[in-house]
């Protein structure tokens, strides 16, 4: 009789035990197609920042899943979906309290680009204010321009959509005169866009890139990832990754 009571009790207790100790969930990492920092090559996610983030996760023993999507979608997801981080992200002042930060992963140089026939003198950021500038929604470069009183900006979901919009005719509708993008990313974006007659007009900023984790990610997890990156810098493995991409993508 006692044995039967024990079996009933054990059968009732087991589901509670399973609920009380759920399996650990992997950190969801979202990013965009933006070479050389994060991009898909031969069906595999790679890039300077990608290699660094993956090695950080391996060393910190933090399981990760990765997903590539348009930047506006990734940026929103990192803020709203629990257990989500985004990279490669500029750590701007207006973003500081939105995320928990691990990095920096790399440094990106930003510039304004135009069609080859563009000959208007632009030597300062102020010179660019009258022109229509194409950028990506929720992208740090767009936010930075706006914070520096450059507000005539047309935004789209992906960088590769902008080069075909460039024109020399300032009266043309649904077009832009300048494009804000990364110096290292320019060649790969132009290739994806099928456009080649583009030149740099003005380098505007150098910005460090980070892994940004939403408020639902534990601070201890972010610290473990940061410590892993510090160890990578100390043992030379970070420099090895950086040098490899410098050789391939230096402008």
**Is 12 among the domain residues?**
no
Q: Are residues 103 and 127 both part of a single domain?
A: no
Q: What is the pLDDT along the chain (251 residues), one digit of tens a residue?
A: 444 443 443 344 434 333 333 335 799 999 999 999 999 999 999 999 999 999 999 999 999 999 999 999 999 999 999 999 999 999 999 999 999 999 999 999 999 999 999 999 999 999 999 999 999 999 999 999 999 999 999 999 999 999 999 999 999 999 999 999 999 999 899 999 999 999 999 999 999 999 999 989 999 999 999 999 999 999 999 999 999 998 888 77
Q: Are residues 161 and 216 both part of a single domain?
A: no
Q: Are residues 94 and 215 both part of a single domain?
A: yes
Crossing angle of helices 219-235 and 237-249, in 10° steps, is 80
**Is 19 among the domain residues?**
no
Q: Are residues 173 and 150 both part of a single domain?
A: yes
Q: Are residues 47 and 88 both part of a single domain?
A: yes
Q: Are residues 189 and 222 both part of a single domain?
A: no
**Is 8 among the domain residues?**
no
Tally of domains within the chain = 2
Q: Are residues 127 and 185 both part of a single domain?
A: yes
Give the separation between CA 209 and CA 207, rounded to whole angstroms: 7
Q: Are residues 222 and 101 both part of a single domain?
A: yes
CATH number of the domain where residue 51 is located: 3.40.190.10
Q: Which domain holds residue 229?
A: 26-108+208-249
**Is 231 among the domain residues?**
yes
Query: Per the structure block, which two tokens stand in for 28?
Result: 């969801």
What pLDDT is attached to residue 24? 54
Query: Per the structure block, which two tokens stand in for 157?
Result: 């979901």
Q: Are residues 47 and 96 both part of a single domain?
A: yes
Q: Are residues 99 and 213 both part of a single domain?
A: yes
Q: Are residues 178 and 198 both part of a single domain?
A: yes
**Is 1 among the domain residues?**
no
Q: Are residues 103 and 143 both part of a single domain?
A: no
Total-model pTM: 0.83
What pLDDT is attached to residue 43? 95
Query: Per the structure block, which two tokens stand in for 94?
Result: 């207006």
């Amino acid at each position: 009789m006692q044995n039967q009571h024990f079996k009933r009790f054990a059968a009732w207790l087991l589901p509670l035990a399973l609920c009380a100790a759920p399996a650990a969930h992997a950190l969801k990492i979202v990013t965009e197609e933006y070479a050389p920092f994060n991009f898909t090559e031969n069906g595999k996610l790679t890039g300077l920042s990608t290699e660094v983030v993956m090695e950080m996760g391996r060393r910190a023993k933090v399981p990760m899943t990765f997903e590539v999507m348009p930047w506006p979608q990734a940026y929103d997801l990192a803020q709203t979906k629990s257990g989500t981080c985004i990279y490669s992200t500029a750590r701007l002042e207006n973003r500081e309290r939105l995320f928990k930060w691990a990095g920096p992963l790399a440094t990106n140089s930003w510039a304004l680009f135009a069609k080859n026939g563009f000959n208007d003198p632009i030597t300062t950021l102020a010179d660019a204010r009258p022109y229509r500038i194409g950028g990506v929604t929720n992208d740090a470069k767009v936010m930075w321009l706006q914070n520096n009183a450059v507000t005539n900006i047309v935004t789209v979901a992906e960088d590769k959509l902008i080069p075909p919009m460039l024109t020399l005719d300032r009266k043309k509708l649904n077009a832009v005169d300048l494009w804000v993008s990364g110096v290292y990313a320019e060649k790969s974006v132009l290739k994806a866009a099928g456009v080649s007659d583009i030149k740099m007009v003005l380098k505007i900023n150098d910005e460090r890139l980070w892994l940004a984790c939403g408020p639902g990610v534990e601070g201890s997890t972010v610290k473990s990832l940061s410590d892993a990156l510090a160890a990578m810098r100390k043992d030379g493995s970070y420099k090895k990754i950086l040098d490899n991409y410098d050789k391939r993508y230096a402008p």
